[in-house]
Amino acid sequence: MATELEIRAHLDTMRSLPSRLGKLASSIGTTQWPGQPERLDLPSGMELTAQDRKDAEQRLKELEAIITGTNLTINESAKARLSLLTRMLLAFPAAGSFSEAAAAARSDVYDDALSDIPPWALNAAIKRWSRGEMPYDLNLGTVNFTFAPPPAILRKLAKHELRPFEDQAHRLRRLLKVVSIERAMDPTPIPQEVKSDDGKVVAISVRRM
C-alpha cells in the first residue's frame, strides 16, 4: 500500500490536465440539431488524434481510480476509513451521550455517510477540520471546530477534496465524445452507442426527423 507521501505526490501530479488535453477540452463547442442529442465538436483545424484519445482514456482511468479509491480493495478501504474515523473521534470530543450504544450508533452513521469516500479524501477532510479550515464555497456558516464534525459536514469536506478530480474526469468524458466540426454540421443523425447485456457496444441508428 502506498504511503501518505506517495499518495500526496501522485495527487499533486493529477490535479490538472496535461496542456494538450486541457487545450482540447477547453475548445469543445456544441451543435444542436432538432430532435437529436447535442453534439460535442472541436473547431476547424483541431482534432482528437488516436494518441490524444489513448492519453485521455488512460488519464480518465487514473482519475476514476483516485475518485473511487479502487487502488485499494473494498476491505482495505473500509479498514482505512475505520482507522481514520476512530482516530478522529478519539481526538475530538463528541456532543451528546458517551455511552457504548451511542458510540456504536455514531460510528454506524459516519460509516453510512462516508462508505463511498476514498480514504485519501477522508484523511484530507479530517486534516482540514483539524486545522480549522472551512472552504467558503461550501456555505456551511459558523461551525464549532472544538467537536468532531458531523457526518454530513465531513462528507462535504471530503467531496470538496474530490471535486478537482471529478471535474477533470467530466471534461475528459466530454472530450472523448467529440466529433469533427464537419460531422457536427452535417444534420445526418449520428448512430448512438449503447452497451448490450454482455457488455458489447452496439450502434443504434437514429431515424431522421
Residue-wise pLDDT tens for the chain (209 aa)? Answer: 566 777 778 888 898 999 999 999 999 999 999 999 999 999 998 999 999 999 999 999 999 999 999 888 889 999 999 999 999 988 887 766 566 777 778 888 999 999 999 999 999 999 999 999 888 788 777 888 989 999 999 999 999 999 999 999 999 999 999 999 999 999 999 887 655 455 454 444 444 44
Provide the pLDDT for residue 105: 83
Contact between 148 and 94 under an 8 Å Cβ cutoff? The reply is: yes
The DSSP secondary structure of 153-178, one letter per residue, reads HHHHHHHHHHHHHHHHHHHHHHHTT-
**For the chain, domain boundaries:** 4-204
The three cell numbers of residue 91 are 481526538
Contact between 115 and 69 under an 8 Å Cβ cutoff? The reply is: no
Which amino acid, one-letter code, is at 2?
A: A
pTM greater than the 0.85 cutoff = no
Nearest to 185 by CA among 25, 39, 47, 45: 39
Tell me the pLDDT tens digit for each residue of 27-59. Answer: 999 999 999 999 999 999 899 999 999 999 999
Place of cell 466530454: 174
